[in-house]
């Protein structure tokens, strides 16, 4: 069992959390101006790095808040967690 | 004429009482519960003074005190979410008072009294029993009296309050209460309770 440190509640077991995909994917400023290809890029295409990856997580069985986490996709180590709206911190993997 | 209410664990009173002395379990049904969503500090302070109990400023804690509605507890559920718990039958009055204190600030006060029932657990083995199904560190050094966490106990969502040295209060959804009572009975077997 892995512990995930919720920025509000502290370390909790991962069964309390839900995964929300890549973080910092901004909604298009003018969605109606997008071509089909650009819309597909926004909806379906995500990074798939080997290394640190900023992701959204929800502490769904606890405080029910969304937050962001930087996870190393090679080791599953959580390098940093930060609250929604805060900038992504510098991480060293 | 109104029918007598039946609490979620009414059928479990005897079986839960049989867990003593390993675990002393008692349901406290029908308590008034209101979910409050508010983030403005002035509104939080106004609601606290209306209840006579200041809202908990620190995450994962609860505050308790006495005021015009008797003994009231305010539980931290999230950064802008609280649960006000009061004696039975006061939900309508408290809802009105809290809505008045909220004023024009953004937020909500919702009566959720029927959502959860309360189970009080005490006894020398209470931490051992909870550890069978709860991953939160409940050692007094990391969960002192006054701690209030939302977590999973045996895969059931609960609100867990540390109310004393060996005393815990569990708020569990009414439809999960019988499952949790059955799980508690099973978890107590190794502490000298006849199965």
Please say if the pLDDT value at position B71 is more than 90.
Answer: yes
* CB under 8 A, 24+ apart: contacts of B91-98: B91/B32, B91/B33, B91/B34, B93/B69, B94/B32, B94/B34, B94/B51, B94/B69, B95/B34, B97/B50, B97/B51, B97/B68, B98/B34, B98/B36, B98/B47, B98/B50, B98/B51
Give B2's pLDDT tier (boundaries 50, 70, 90): confident
Give B14's pLDDT tier (boundaries 50, 70, 90): very high
φ/ψ (deg, to 5) at B41: -60, -35
Same domain, B153 and B138: yes
SS3 A86: coil
Query: Could you identify the residue written with the tokens 């006061």?
Result: B90
Task: Supply the pLDDT for residue B20.
Answer: 87
What domains are there in chain A, each with its CATH number?
1-26+44-87+89-93 (3.30.2270.10)
Q: By the CB < 8 Å criterion, does A9 face chain B?
A: yes
Please give the DSSP secondary-structure letter assigned to residue A31. G
Distance, in Å, from the CA atom of A80 to the CA atom of A4, rounded to the nearest integer, reads 10
Distance, in angstroms, between B73 CA and closest chain A CA? 18
Which among B139, B47, B49 has a CA at the least distance from the CA of B100?
Answer: B47
Asked whether the beta carbons of B87 and B31 are under 8 A apart, the reply is yes
Percent of chain B with pLDDT over 90: 92
10-residue stretch averages of pLDDT, chain A, 93 residues long: 93 95 94 95 96 96 96 95 92 74
Question: Per the structure, how many domains does chain B have?
Answer: 2
ipTM reported for the complex, 2 dp: 0.87
Task: Supply the pLDDT for residue B3.
Answer: 86
Task: Supply the pLDDT for residue A93.
Answer: 63
Distance, in Å, from the CA atom of B124 to the CA atom of A67, rounded to the nearest integer, reads 37
The beta-strand segments (E) located in B31-166 are: 32-38, 62-67, 70-78, 81-86, 107-111, 116-122, 148-153, 156-164
Task: Answer with the one of B93, B111, B129 that is the final residue of a domain.
Answer: B111
Q: By the CB < 8 Å criterion, does B165 face chain A?
A: no
Would residue B65 count as lying in a domain? yes
Asked whether the beta carbons of B16 and B25 are under 8 A apart, the reply is yes
Please say if the pLDDT value at position B194 is more than 70.
Answer: no
Enclosing domain of residue B66: 32-111
Residue contact B78–A1, C-beta within 8 A: no
Query: Could you identify the residue written with the tokens 């049989």?
Result: B18
Same domain, B20 and B70: no
Distance, in angstroms, between B152 CA and closest chain A CA? 7
Give B175's pLDDT tier (boundaries 50, 70, 90): very high
Q: By the CB < 8 Å criterion, does B141 face chain A?
A: no
Task: Answer with the one of B85, B111, B137 that is the final residue of a domain.
Answer: B111
Distance, in Å, from the CA atom of B63 to the CA atom of B41, rounded to the nearest integer, reads 16
Average pLDDT of chain B, as a whole number: 94
Task: Supply the pLDDT for residue A33.
Answer: 95
Tokens of B167: 């005393």
What CATH number does residue B96 fall under?
Answer: 3.30.70.1520
The predicted model gives B58-83 an average pLDDT of 96
Please say if the pLDDT value at position B193 is more than 80.
Answer: no
Count the Cβ atoms, other than its own, within 10 Å of residue A73.
15
Same domain, B155 and B132: yes
The CA distances from residue A54 to A62, A65, A88, B48, in Å, are 21, 17, 8, 38
Considering only CB atoms, A16 lies closest to which of B59, B81, B152, namely B152
Same domain, B24 and B44: no
Asked whether the beta carbons of B63 and B53 are under 8 A apart, the reply is yes
Distance, in Å, from the CA atom of B60 to the CA atom of A13, rounded to the nearest integer, reads 16
User: Per residue in B97-124, pLDDT tens?
Assistant: 999 999 999 999 999 999 999 999 999 9
Same domain, B180 and B121: yes
Residue contact B151–A16, C-beta within 8 A: yes
Task: Answer with the one of B111, B135, B164 that is the final residue of a domain.
Answer: B111
SS3 B126: helix
Would residue B52 count as lying in a domain? yes
Please, how many CA atoms are within 13 Å of residue B73, restricted to the half-sphere of its CB? 23
Task: Supply the pLDDT for residue B4.
Answer: 86
Distance, in angstroms, between B149 CA and closest chain A CA? 7
């Amino acid at each position: 069992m892995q512990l995930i440190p919720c920025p509000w509640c502290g370390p909790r077991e991962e069964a309390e959390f839900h995964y929300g995909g890549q973080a910092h994917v901004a909604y298009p400023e003018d969605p109606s101006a997008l071509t089909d290809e650009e819309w597909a890029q926004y909806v379906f295409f995500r990074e798939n790095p080997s290394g640190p990856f900023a992701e959204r997580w929800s502490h769904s069985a606890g405080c029910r808040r969304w937050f962001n986490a930087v996870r190393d996709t090679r080791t599953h180590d959580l390098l940093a967690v930060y609250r929604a709206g805060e900038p992504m911190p510098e991480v060293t993997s | 004429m109104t029918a007598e209410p039946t609490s979620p664990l009414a059928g479990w009173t005897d079986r839960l009482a049989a867990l003593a002395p390993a675990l002393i379990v008692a349901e406290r049904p029908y308590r008034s519960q209101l979910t409050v969503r508010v983030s403005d500090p002035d509104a939080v302070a106004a609601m606290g003074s209306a209840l006579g109990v200041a809202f908990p400023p620190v995450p994962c804690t609860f505050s308790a005190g006495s005021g015009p509605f008797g003994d009231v507890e305010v539980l931290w559920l999230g950064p802008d979410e609280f649960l006000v718990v009061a004696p039975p039958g006061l939900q309508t009055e408290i809802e009105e008072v809290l809505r008045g204190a909220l004023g024009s600030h953004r937020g909500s006060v919702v009566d959720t009294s029927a959502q959860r029932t309360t189970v009080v657990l005490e006894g020398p083995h209470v931490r051992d029993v909870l550890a069978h199904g709860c991953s939160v560190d409940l050692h007094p050094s990391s969960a002192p009296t006054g701690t209030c966490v939302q977590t999973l106990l045996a895969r059931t969502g609960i609100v867990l309050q540390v109310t004393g040295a060996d005393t815990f209060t569990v708020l569990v959804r009414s439809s999960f209460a019988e499952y949790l009572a059955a799980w508690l009975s099973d978890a107590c077997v190794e502490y000298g309770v006849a199965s």
